[in-house]
Chains A and B, each alone.
Chain A
Amino acid sequence: MTALLEARHVTKIFGGGFFTKSYTTALENFSMTIENDPPSVTAVVGESGSGKTTLARLLLGLVEPTRGQVLYKGEDLRKIGGRERRVFRRDVQVIFQDPFEVYNPFYKVDHVLTTPIEKFGLAKSRQERDSLVVQVLEAVGLRPEETLGRHPHQLSGGQRQRIMVARALLLRPRVILADEPVSMIDASLRATILGSLLKLNQEFGISILYITHDLTTAYQVSENIVVLYRGNVCETGDVELVVKKPLHPYTRLLVGSVPLPDVNRRWAAEAPASSIGQKADPNKGCRFANRCPNAMEKCIRETPPLYRVDEKRAASCYLYDDKPQLRSEDMMEVFIKGTPRLKTVVGVQ
C-alpha cells in the first residue's frame, strides 16, 4: 500500500559547499509515513537544532533532501508537478509558529480565507464562499462577526492563530503539519488552539503532525511521539511509555528538566556529566554522547541503531543492544494505531 505522505531514508545536510568544509546534518536517515486512515496525531519533539522544523519543510517540499526521498502517494515530491502538485498542496496543509508574520498587514483577515477558495475553486458563488468562511471559523470556535472585516493588528495572537487553523481546514486536507503552533500563544489560549486542532482530527479525520519543543503539550495531544536530537531519533513510540518511563538518556534528561507547574514535584537533582568529554566529529557516533552520563567508547565511534525495547517503543541507545534491532524504515511498527480517543480537553469558546 502506498502511503499518503512518506519520508524515506531522508538526510538533509546544510553547508559543506565547495569552499567550506564544515557542515551540519540537520536530519539523518529519517523514515516515517503519515496516513490519514485512521487519522492520527503524532508529535515530533526536540530542542532547537534537533531537525524538527527541517522535517516539516522537507515534508512540505520547501527544501529538498540531500539523500533519500519524500513521497506523496508514492511519487517523489521533486517530480510531481501540475495537477498532481495542486492536489498535494491541498492535501497537506501547514500551520506555522508565528501568527503575526503570516498575514499581510494591508489586507483584512478575510483575505487569507478567500484566497484559497478562489485558487482551488472551492465555491461557485459569493454566497457559497461566504458561508464556507463562516463555517470554518465556527469550527475553530471563532465568532465570524467579530473576526471578519478586521485587519490582522486588530486581532489577538490567539485569534490569528485560530484563523490559520480555519484556513487549513477550509481546504479539507488529509494532513496538517503544525510547526510550533502554540509556542507564541499565552497559556490560557493554548488549550483552546490545541483543542481546535484535535477537533479537526476527530471530526474531520485529518492527521496531525504536531512539531514542538514542549513535551507537556505533545503528551496531551498525541498518541505517538518521536523524540529527535541533532537530527537523529532518540526514542519513539507510544507517548505514554516514552513520557512516563523514558529509557534513552536524553529523553530522561528532557523529561526531568520540564518545569512542571506542580510545587510538590521539584526538579530532580542534576544529572552527572559525561565522562567521555568532547567528541572529535560532531557528525559521527551518537549525537548525545558528549552530554550522556552513560556514554561508552562505542557511542563515539558509531551511531546506534534503533532497538525495540518494548512492544510499543524503540530507542537508539547501546544500553539496549540486547534488544532486537529495528530498521529505521520500520520505526512506525512500534506506533499505536488508530485508537479513536474522544477527549474532554476541548475548551473551545
Chain B
Amino acid sequence: MKPDVLDVKDLKVYYHTPRGAVKAVDGVSFQLFAEERLGLVGESGSGKTTSAMALLRMIKAPGKIEGGEIWLEGADQVLARHGGKNGNGQYAKGGKVNLQTLTDEQMVSLRLSAIALIAQGSMNSLNPVMRIRDQIADGYQDHGYKLTKQELKERTADLLNRVGLRPSVADMYPHELSGGMKLRVCIAIAISLSPKVILADEPTSALDVVVQRQVMETLRRVQEELGASVLLVGHDMGLMAQAVDRLGVMYAGKMAEVSPVHDIFTKPLHPYAQLLIASLPSLDVKGEFKGIPGLPPSLLEDIPGCPFAPRCPYKMERCEVEKPILKEVAPNRHVACFLVEGAK
C-alpha cells in the first residue's frame, strides 16, 4: 500500500451558536494515500464540507477547530522554501507537519502550494473583471515566484493545455466562458503550484451530467500527471462510484464507514451505508429505491450512542448508550458499528 500524504486524527470542529455548540465534525479520522482519490459523502449537515475546510484551516467564526491533528506530507519543504520556520523537527513526524501547530502565515504559504482547493461553486469565484491570465498569475505572485513575462505566459499556456483549454482562453474574461470551462480554469489554478493534495468540494454539482463527466475525466488526468491525491467531497453517490478509489461515508459529524469504493457499493457494512446505497435510483430496474425513514439527529444535542441508532433497523440496546468507534474490521475497511465489530 502507498504511504499516506494526509493523516487526519480525531478532528473536531464545533460551531458555537447561542443555543450551544453544534458538533459539525466530531472526532473524524481518515488517511489520504499517495496518488489516490478518496471520496467523502454525506447528507447536508453531515460535516463533509466542514471537514474539508478544516484541513485548510479555513473554518470561520462561529466555527472553531476544537481538537485533532492534521498531518500533511511535503509541507515542511514548502515551509523551508518560504524561509519561515522550517521542518526543524518541531513539527515533523516522518516528514509530515501537523497543520494545527502552524501560524496563520505559514498556513497561507501552504495553501495552493501544498494543499489546493477547488471550492463548491468555484467557477463563480473567478474575478469577473480580471483576465484568466492574471488570475492564474496571482497564485505565483502570492507564493513568491519571480517569473518573467515570458515564463508566466508559457506556464499559463501549459496549465490551460493540461486542463483541455486553448491558450487563447488566457486573454478572456470569466463571462466569456461556459460553466465547464470556468471550472477547468479553477482546476488549472489549483494545480499551478503542483500541490500533493487537492481538495475538491462538490466541484461539478452545478454542471450538466455530460460536462460533469468531461471535467471529472480532466481532473483525474491532471491528478495522475501530477502524482497528487484528491479528496472529493460530495453528495452524489453515482459520481463517487465513477470517480474515486476509496469512499468515506459521513453521518451526523462522524465517519460511519471508509472502504474501497468497490467493496462499499457491492457489500456495504455500516447500516447507514447499506440504506443509502439502497435508496439510489438506477437506470435498470424500476421501483427498486426506497428512502431511509426518519431524520438525522440535531447536532446540538450530545448523542450518547450511535447517531444513526434512531433510524437503524438493526439497533441494539448498546447502540443507544455507547459510541461505536471506527475500526478496521476487514483489510482496508473501517466501520463504526457494533454489529460488524461483533461479527469479527
Chain A residues close to B by CB (< 8 Å): 47-48, 156-159, 186-192, 195, 213, 215-217, 219-220, 243-244, 253-255, 257-264, 266-267, 270, 343-345, 347-349
Interface centre among A47, A188, A264, A347 (most CB of B within 10 A): A188
Further 6 A-B residue pairs, CB within 8 A, beyond A255-B283, A270-B213: A156-B295, A187-B43, A216-B280, A258-B238, A259-B243, A267-B213
Contacts of A260 in B (CB 8 A): 238, 241-242, 282-283
Contacts of A264 in B (CB 8 A): 266
A120 to B243, CA, bound (A): 51
For chain B, residues 211 to 244, give those with C-beta under 8 angstroms from any C-beta of chain A. 212-214, 217, 235-243
For chain B, residues 288 to 304, give those with C-beta under 8 angstroms from any C-beta of chain A. 288-295
Q: Are B265 and A263 in contact (CB under 8 A)?
A: yes
Q: Are B212 and A188 in contact (CB under 8 A)?
A: no
Q: Are B281 and A258 in contact (CB under 8 A)?
A: no
Closest chain B CB from A146 CB (angstroms): 10
Q: Which residue of A lies closest to B247 (CB)?
A: A263
Interface centre among A195, A220, A263 (most CB of B within 10 A): A263
**Known interface pairs A259-B242, A261-B238, A267-B242. Does A217 touch B209 (Cβ–Cβ under 8 Å)?**
no
Q: Which residue of B lies closest to A195 (CB)?
A: B291
A-binding segment of B30-38, B86-94, B194-202, B271-279: B271-279
Q: Which residue of A lies closest to B209 (CB)?
A: A257
**Known interface pairs A262-B241, A347-B290. Does A47 touch B283 (Cβ–Cβ under 8 Å)?**
no
A271 to B213, CA, bound (A): 11
In the complex, whether B17 has a CB less than 8 A from a CB of chain A is no
Q: Which residue of B lies closest to A156 (CB)?
A: B295
Contacts of B280 in A (CB 8 A): 187, 216, 261
Q: Are A189 and B291 in contact (CB under 8 A)?
A: yes
A156 to B294, CA, bound (A): 11
**Known interface pairs A186-B43, A190-B279. Does A259 touch B212 (Cβ–Cβ under 8 Å)?**
yes
Q: Are B209 and A263 in contact (CB under 8 A)?
A: no
**Known interface pairs A47-B210, A156-B295, A186-B235. Does A220 touch B281 (Cβ–Cβ under 8 Å)?**
yes
In the complex, whether B124 has a CB less than 8 A from a CB of chain A is no
Counting from the closest, the 8 A-B pairs by CB-CB distance are: A192-B291, A347-B290, A47-B208, A259-B238, A191-B291, A186-B43, A188-B292, A347-B291
Contacts of B275 in A (CB 8 A): 188
Contacts of A261 in B (CB 8 A): 237-238, 240-241, 265, 277, 280, 282
Contacts of A255 in B (CB 8 A): 283
Contacts of B277 in A (CB 8 A): 261
In the complex, whether B262 has a CB less than 8 A from a CB of chain A is yes
A190 to B44, CA, bound (A): 13
A345 to B285, CA, bound (A): 11
A156 to B293, CA, bound (A): 13
**Known interface pairs A261-B265, A266-B242, A270-B217. Does A188 touch B287 (Cβ–Cβ under 8 Å)?**
no
Other-chain contact of A187, B214, B237, B286, B294 (Cβ < 8 Å): B237
Q: Which residue of B lies closest to A48 (CB)?
A: B208
Contacts of B286 in A (CB 8 A): 219-220, 343, 345
Closest chain A CB from B231 CB (angstroms): 18
1/0 contact string of B249-278 vs chain A (CB within 8 Å): 000000000000110011000000001110
A99 to B262, CA, bound (A): 34
Q: Are A188 and B279 in contact (CB under 8 A)?
A: yes
Closest chain A CB from B274 CB (angstroms): 11
Contacts of B265 in A (CB 8 A): 261-263
Q: Are B241 and A263 in contact (CB under 8 A)?
A: yes
Closest chain B CB from A197 CB (angstroms): 13
Closest chain B CB from A105 CB (angstroms): 17
Q: Are A345 and B287 in contact (CB under 8 A)?
A: yes
Closest chain A CB from B292 CB (angstroms): 4
Other-chain contact of A258, B237, B283, B288 (Cβ < 8 Å): B283
**Known interface pairs A157-B44, A219-B286, A254-B210. Does A191 touch B279 (Cβ–Cβ under 8 Å)?**
yes
Closest chain A CB from B319 CB (angstroms): 19
Contacts of A186 in B (CB 8 A): 43-44, 235
Q: Which residue of A lies closest to B288 (CB)?
A: A345
Contacts of B242 in A (CB 8 A): 259-260, 266-267
Q: Are A263 and B293 in contact (CB under 8 A)?
A: no
